[in-house]
Amino acid sequence: MEQPDDGRAAIWRQALSIGVATGAYGVSFGALSVAAGLSLAQTCTLSLLMFTGGSQFAFAGVIAAGGAGGAAVATAGLLGARNGFYGLQMAPRLQARGAVRLLAAQLTIDESTAVAAAQLAQRPGRDELARLGFWSTGGAVFVLWNLATLAGGMLGSALGDPRRYGLDAAAAAAFLGLLWPRLRTARPRLVAIAAVLAALGLVPRVPAGLPVLGAAVVAVAIGWKDDVRGASPRRPGMLSS
Amino acid sequence: MIGWSTVLAGCGVCFVFKLIGYLAPAHWLETERVARVASLVTVALLAALLAVQTVVSGQRLTLDARVPAVAVAAVLLWRRAPFVVVVVVAALVATGLRMI
């Protein structure tokens, strides 16, 4: 669609629009995190240093439910594991070393990887456009996500009891919103149902935070068996999760 | 309230996962099974968090204003509403029901 010499401008526009969209839900994170009991400074630290949306919502969610710190860390970590796969796929394209590599790792998230992957698919052989897509999107999201978190956190601090404003329901809706795009095929749907049953079954029996991790065990059990008929993607792709 | 060590530990774990992809020999991790399990673990965690956040109160299962709020959220997601709209409407539904 774009002329080759317009390719870069289009990538920047995409990066900025993704940054704005992601920033919008950074406001939700900021408010929910503060409502969960984290301080504004801790909330902002999560967006600066953890910088991966699903993990951050999960961390705050486990804390809000009364879970132990270890459970929150484990849940956030497991949700962030897919970024490792993104790194595997970005590393050869970025060829980053030293401090730049650390920065690349920090910016390796769903959005930056997805834009890079799209460039690789649309313009094979033009790695420099994939790199531009990665860095511009990663940078835009980083700046806007963090500003939005600060705004949301300050708003959340001003609000008082989270239940008065339905923020507990808002957090549930946030998890549903993050889950929704992943439920396109049969196996994820099966895993989601099994996870819900496992987690709710464990709640009366184990300390807070552990039911969610128990659900992860269920996922490993269901996912372990190799699939011959193709309900899951053929090869690890950046957009498969 | 929440210890800084917990917050920083969470940040550290997530960063290590991100960095692993840049450090590990590809063949360690690029098997279909590992990628698939990672993807399904993500789904399981999000689903479990959703369930706990919707019906759990302390150590018990409770049905309250959160349930219809999440049901409305599901309808909005099905109709492709933006994320922020879904979250705000859920909050409004719960607040409204609690005022009755």
Report how far residue A105's alpha carbon sits from residue A166's, in angstroms, rounded to the nearest whole number: 36
- The total of other beta-carbon atoms located within 10 Å of residue A16's CB is 15
Residue with tokens 């895993």: A191
Report how far Cα B34 is from the mean position of its chain's Cα atoms. 21
Closest CA to B64 of B20, B100, B21: B100
Task: Give the whole-angstrom CA distance, residue A57 versus residue A67.
Answer: 14
**If you ran DSSP here, which 8-state letter would residue B61 be given?**
E
Residues of chain B with pLDDT under 70: 1, 26, 28-30
Cβ–Cβ under 8 Å, residues B70 and A164: no
Residue A216 confidence (pLDDT) = 86
Proportion of chain A in helix, strand, coil states, percent, rounded to 5: 75, 0, 25
Of the candidates A39, A78, A88, the beta carbon closest to that of B26 is on: A88
The pLDDT value recorded for residue B72 is: 97
The answer to whether the Cβ–Cβ distance between B17 and A227 falls below 8 Å is no
Whether the CB of B58 is below 8 Å from some CB of chain A: the reply is yes
Give pLDDT, residue A99: 95
pTM of the model: 0.77
Which chain B residues touch A57 with a CB distance below 8 Å?
49
Who has greater pLDDT, A66 or B69?
A: B69
Provide the pLDDT for residue A66.
Answer: 85
Reduced to 3 states (helix: H, G, I; strand: E, B; else coil), residue B60 is strand
- What is the DSSP code string of A2-27? --GGGHHHHHHHHHHHHHHHHHHHHH
How much is the pLDDT for A233? 46
Which residues between 20 and 49 in chain B have a beta carbon less than 8 angstroms from any beta carbon of chain A?
Answer: 20-22, 24, 26, 29-49
Tens-place pLDDT, residues A10-62: 889 888 888 887 877 788 899 999 999 999 999 999 999 999 998 999 999 89
Cβ-Cβ pairs closer than 8 A, A with B, add up to 322
Band the pLDDT of A228: cuts 50, 70, 90: low
CB A46 within 8 A of CB A59: yes
Distance CA A214, CA A199 (A): 6
Under an 8 A CB cutoff, do A45 and B8 touch? yes
Q: What is the pLDDT of residue B26?
A: 66
Helices (H), A107-209: 110-122, 127-157, 167-179, 186-202
A71 vs B contacts (CB less than 8 Å)? none
Tell me: the pLDDT tens digits for A102-131? 999 999 998 898 888 888 877 888 889 999
C-alpha–C-alpha distance, residues A160 and B96, integer Å: 17
Closest C-alpha among A128, A13, A239 to residue A1: A13
Would you say A220 and A78 are in contact if contact means Cβ atoms under 8 Å apart? no
From chain B, the residues in CB contact with A241 under 8 A are 35, 38-39, 42
- Which residues in chain B have their CB less than 8 angstroms from residue A23's CB? none
Closest CA to B86 of A151, A27, A179, A174: A174
Sign of the C-alpha dihedral computed for residues A25, A31, A36 and A40 taken in this order: positive
Q: Per residue in A161-209, pLDDT tens? A: 666 678 788 888 888 988 898 898 999 999 999 999 999 999 998 877 7
Q: What is the pLDDT of residue A5?
A: 59
- What region, left, alpha or beta, does residue A27 occupy, with left being phi > 0 and alpha being psi -120 to 50 degrees? alpha
Question: Roughly what angle, to the nearest 10 degrees, separates helices B32-55 and A210-224?
Answer: 150
Instruction: Judge: B33–A224 Cβ closer than 8 Å, yes or no.
Output: yes
Q: What is the pLDDT of residues A126-162, one digit of tens each?
A: 889 999 999 999 999 999 999 999 999 999 878 766 6
CB contact under 8 A, B84 and A25: yes
Distance CA B68, CA A37 (A): 25
